[in-house]
Copies of this chain bind each other. A is one copy, B any other.
Amino acid sequence: MPKHFHRELEKLKKRILSLGAMVEERVYMATKAIENRDSNLADKIIKSDYEIDEMEVDVEEECLKILALYQPVAVDLRFITAVIKINNDLERIADEAVNIARGIQYISKGKKLHFDFDFYSMAEKTEAMLKKSLDALVNMDVDLAFKVCLLDDEVDKINAKAHRMVKDAIKDNPDQGEYFINLLLISRHLERIADHATNIAEEVIYLIEGEIIRHRDF
């Protein structure tokens, strides 16, 4: 492969990582917005989502350009198809951050009701999964990628706990159903972010080991 090709590949790697960093920032903002019920911050997440959308389109066009121009094979080909899919997951994570922001806008309108569930810690765990999955991509670290897959179970359990707690809260506050449903949905959006981080980790494992491990139980 010519020098140009490797330069293009490096550029693509930088691009997907910088999209990753932007999306991480969105998840961090969502985490902070949850902690402080901060509707201004939520507003910022919603209004800046178009930046992620634009970048996703750019990355995909870049991938297609490289595929068409250089017709890479083996590990390079696998890398580019992995980027196409990771790109997609990153954009959807940002969408989930927007969904969380909408939930926060709703719940911050009224008075804060008692609900003894630690969203902040759930959000932190989810954010850490995303960070680890991107680190695994940068450093081609298959062990770290496997760790992300294991962490997903933990977040699933936390989400199930939120579900049970919301059910009880609604029983005690039937007039506040909408409020607690919004809390439940925030928990589900976090859980979906964790799912997407797991998808990214699985792509990294595939990239390194050449084996599709999706749908396998850990």
Residues of A bordering B, CB below 8 Å: 50, 53-54, 56-57, 60-61, 63-64, 67-68, 71, 73-74, 77-78, 81, 84-85, 88, 163, 166-167, 170-175, 177-178, 181, 184, 212, 214-215
How far, in angstroms, from A164 to B14 measured CA to CA in the complex?
Answer: 44
Are A215 and B174 touching (Cβ within 8 A)?
Answer: no
A192's nearest neighbour on chain B, judged by CB, is B192
Are A50 and B215 touching (Cβ within 8 A)?
Answer: yes
Are B175 and A171 touching (Cβ within 8 A)?
Answer: yes
Inter-chain contacts of A174 with B (CB < 8 A)? 170-174
Are B177 and A53 touching (Cβ within 8 A)?
Answer: no
25 A/B residue pairs, CB under 8 Å, sorted by A? A53-B214, A54-B215, A61-B212, A63-B81, A64-B77, A68-B77, A71-B71, A71-B73, A81-B84, A84-B84, A163-B181, A166-B177, A166-B181, A167-B178, A167-B181, A170-B170, A170-B177, A170-B181, A171-B174, A171-B177, A172-B174, A173-B174, A177-B177, A181-B181, A181-B184
Inter-chain contacts of A71 with B (CB < 8 A)? 71, 73
How far, in angstroms, from A175 to B171 measured CA to CA in the complex?
Answer: 5
CB distance from A43 to the nearest CB of B (A): 19
Inter-chain contacts of A178 with B (CB < 8 A)? 167
CB distance from A61 to the nearest CB of B (A): 7
A175's nearest neighbour on chain B, judged by CB, is B171
With beta carbons under 8 angstroms apart, the residue of B60, B81, B167, B184 that contacts A67 is: B81
CB distance from A80 to the nearest CB of B (A): 9
CB distance from A164 to the nearest CB of B (A): 9
Inter-chain contacts of A177 with B (CB < 8 A)? 166-167, 170-171, 177
CB distance from A53 to the nearest CB of B (A): 4
Known: A67-B77, A68-B73, A77-B64. A57 touches B215 (CB 8 A): yes
